C-alpha cells in the first residue's frame, strides 16, 4: 500500500456510519489560516436524532513511506491515545468552554492502513477563533477581552 492509496482511503468516509449511529458527511477543507490536524482529516457528522458533530479521522498514511515507519506510527498513536484519554477525562465534567468528545472508534475502510480509519467524534463547536481573527480587520477590545476570559475559563476548567 502506498501513501497515496492510504490518503485516498481517508477521503472516502462520507456516507459511512459509526457504531453509535453517526453518519459521516462532507469532508471539511482547511483554509490557509487554519492550523492543527497534522495527521487528520475533518468531517461533519450527523446523528439520527439531529445532533451535529465533528469527526476527526486519523491519517496514519505518513508512516507508510517513512524512513522509520514503526517510529512514526508509535508517535502518531501516542498522540491519538493522549488526546483520546484527555477527552475521556473531560467527558463527564460539564466543561462549558471545552468542546466535548462524544466517542471514538474505527470505521472499516479496506484501502486504509490496518483496514480501518480511527476517529474521534466531537460535539460541533460554535465557531472557530482562527477564522474570526484571520477574517476580521477589526477585532475590538470587548471581543478580545471576552475571548481571553473564555480561554482563561477553559484553562481553569481543565485544571
pLDDT band at 148, cuts 50/70/90? confident
| Tens digits of residue pLDDT in 60-117 | 877 877 899 899 989 989 988 988 888 877 776 776 666 778 899 999 998 888 889 9
**What pLDDT is attached to residue 38?**
60
DSSP H helices in 28-124:
61-64, 69-90
pLDDT at residue number 17: 95
Q: Which tops the pLDDT comparison, 76 or 127?
A: 76
Band the pLDDT of 146: cuts 50, 70, 90.
Answer: confident
pTM across the whole model:
0.74
Residue that wins the pLDDT comparison between 123 and 21: 21
CA gyration radius, the chain: 17
For the stretch 5-59, pLDDT in tens is 767 777 889 999 999 999 999 988 766 555 555 678 889 999 999 999 999 998 8
d(CA 108, CA 88): 23
Confidence of residue 141 (pLDDT cuts 50, 70, 90): confident
For the four alpha carbons of 82, 85, 87 and 93, in that order, the dihedral sign comes to negative
Task: State residue 22's pLDDT score.
Answer: 96
Question: What DSSP element (H or E) covers 66?
Answer: none
Amino acid at each position: 500500500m502506498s501513501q497515496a492509496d492510504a490518503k485516498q482511503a481517508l477521503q472516502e468516509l462520507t456516507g459511512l456510519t459509526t457504531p453509535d449511529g453517526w453518519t459521516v458527511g462532507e469532508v471539511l477543507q482547511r483554509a490557509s489560516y487554519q492550523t492543527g490536524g497534522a495527521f487528520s482529516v475533518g468531517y461533519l457528522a450527523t446523528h439520527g436524532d439531529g445532533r451535529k458533530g465533528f469527526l476527526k479521522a486519523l491519517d496514519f498514511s505518513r508512516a507508510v513511506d517513512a524512513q522509520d515507519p514503526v517510529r512514526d506510527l508509535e508517535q502518531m498513536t501516542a498522540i491519538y491515545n493522549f488526546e483520546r484519554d484527555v477527552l475521556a477525562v473531560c467527558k463527564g465534567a460539564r466543561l462549558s468552554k471545552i468542546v466535548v468528545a462524544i466517542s471514538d472508534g474505527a470505521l472499516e475502510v479496506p484501502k486504509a492502513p490496518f483496514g480501518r480509519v480511527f476517529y474521534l467524534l466531537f460535539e460541533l463547536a460554535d465557531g472557530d477563533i482562527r477564522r474570526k481573527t484571520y477574517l476580521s480587520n477589526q477585532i475590538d477590545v470587548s471581543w478580545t477581552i471576552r475571548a481571553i476570559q473564555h480561554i482563561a475559563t477553559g484553562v481553569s476548567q481543565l485544571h
